[in-house]
Chains A and B, each alone.
Chain A
């Protein structure tokens, strides 16, 4: 019975260890007084994870507490969001949210949550959509691509991440604005879509500014869907400058369970704002190609409502919604 004795000993050690670890007080007046669980409804390694990791690396210094990241992937985020309101609403469990995901998915079928069920408290950045081509592409400017697409309707292929996503809806909106017909090829995630671009499987990509940052030298961006040029890419024009009214991307923020009291919601919003205000954090995010946003709790509802209209219209035009 050598084995069971070892097992008993280890159990005793476990019990001893759990007594020795001091439990943190949950009722302190100032927030946060203990570490915050930060649930990402996607798998590790994706852009939602990486941006959360950036926040995590600043949390300890700025908030005095750790952000503990865990994952609840599945259903393109839907599995996590469907369970958001079942969590205790004390501000110590927060969840990442993404637009257009939380707007488009619930409109398709029952996915266990509606857009209104999600209590967003802060949108902290977006990754702007961009048309990306290989460094040696014959398309030197956006005009080259538009001309080609007008001459050969449907023959210009663009890869992108998924359908009903920021990339796809940007493609739908751009085709409408430019009066072109292009072929959108959906891949699983941005990595696979870049792979298709670099491998020459498609002529261009509906990607993000983060693609331009990560694959600098191998790719060029023809235009970015921002209000103003991205500080990291001063030479890349915006769609607006070129005459297409397109400002879009993958928006990311933080939500809390519905049961969270108003004052705690505000405090979570303030905590995220504090990280967002850090110059070093901003620099790192911009270096990765992100664009920072500061939509706090007071402004988030009108922001999401306004975005919803455009997304739903585009999703209908793109055949994602009936």
Chain B
């Protein structure tokens, strides 16, 4: 991410450009509002944000500060975690909360495992994990009366 030629990280202008882009999108969205009360605030904030982003670029030109942006660590595991969580959420209405929760728990357990899988761990971790999921499921659906999705695939 660091441009070695001039000692400046080019991530700053990229981020600034993204924020300016967001401001433009917000401004475009406000043109569809019918009520004057609705657009005053978002327009003003979008304008301020765009100005600040321009300021960020100007400062980046004037003061060279080599900002290192590092992505150290197991990025595949990171990505896996996010995808598992998103997948479980999207699957919830179909396969039900309990099943998607159990699958997500198991998958994240594997993703977060750095110790060797001893036979003891192989038995205890999944079992206690299932216990945690079941206990919370029971607490939420029966005690707190949260209407957790039951799923439509299995007849609901």
Contact = CB atoms under 8 A, between A and B. Distances in A.
Determine whether A and B are in direct contact in the complex, meaning some CB atoms lie less than 8 angstroms apart. Answer: yes
A29 interface: no
B113 interface: no
Contacts of B130: 11
Size class of the B contact interface (CB-based, 8 Å):
10 to 19
B73 interface: no
B135 A14 contact: yes
B156 interface: yes
A11 B134 contact: yes
A264 to B, nearest CB: 17
B72 interface: no
17 contacts: A4-B127, A4-B128, A7-B131, A7-B135, A8-B127, A8-B131, A10-B135, A11-B130, A14-B134, A14-B135, A14-B138, A15-B134, A17-B138, A18-B138, A108-B34, A186-B37, A322-B34
A108 B33 CA distance: 9
B146 A7 contact: no
A321 B124 contact: no
Nearest to B36: A319
Contacts, number: 45
Contacts of A8: 127-128, 131
Given A10-B131, A70-B145, A321-B34, 8 more contacts: A4-B127, A4-B128, A8-B131, A11-B131, A11-B134, A70-B147, A108-B34, A163-B35
Nearest to A17: B138
A7 B138 contact: no
A44 to B, nearest CB: 12
A228 B124 CA distance: 71
A260 interface: no
Nearest to A8: B131
Interface in A276-322: 319-322
Interface in A103-152: 108-109
Q: Which 6 A-B pairs have the closest CB atoms?
A: A11-B131, A4-B128, A7-B131, A7-B128, A14-B138, A11-B134
B124 A70 contact: no
A129 B29 CA distance: 34
B149 to A, nearest CB: 10
Interface residues of A, number: 24
A11 B132 CA distance: 7
Q: Secondary structure at chain A's binding surface: helix, strand, loop or mixed?
A: mixed
Nearest to A83: B93
Contacts of B128: 3-4, 7-8
B65 to A, nearest CB: 42
Interface string A13-34: 0110110000000000000000
B131 A37 contact: no
Contact of A88 (B32, B138, B156): B156
Interface in B130-156: 130-132, 134-135, 138, 145-147, 156
Contacts of B35: 163, 319-320
B135 A68 contact: no
A59 B34 CA distance: 43
A242 interface: no
Interface in B105-144: 124-125, 127-128, 130-132, 134-135, 138
Contacts of A322: 34
B21 to A, nearest CB: 23
Given A37-B147, A322-B34, A11 B124 contact: no
Contact of B124 (A1, A39, A68, A319): A1
A319 B37 CA distance: 11
Contacts of A4: 124-125, 127-128, 131
Nearest to B125: A4
A4 B135 CA distance: 13
A78 to B, nearest CB: 16
A88 B149 CA distance: 12
A215 B115 CA distance: 64
Contacts of B132: 7, 11
A30 to B, nearest CB: 23
B28 to A, nearest CB: 15
A120 to B, nearest CB: 21
Contacts of B138: 14, 17-18
A70 B138 CA distance: 17
A1 B123 CA distance: 12
Contacts of A186: 37
A168 to B, nearest CB: 10
A320 B134 contact: no
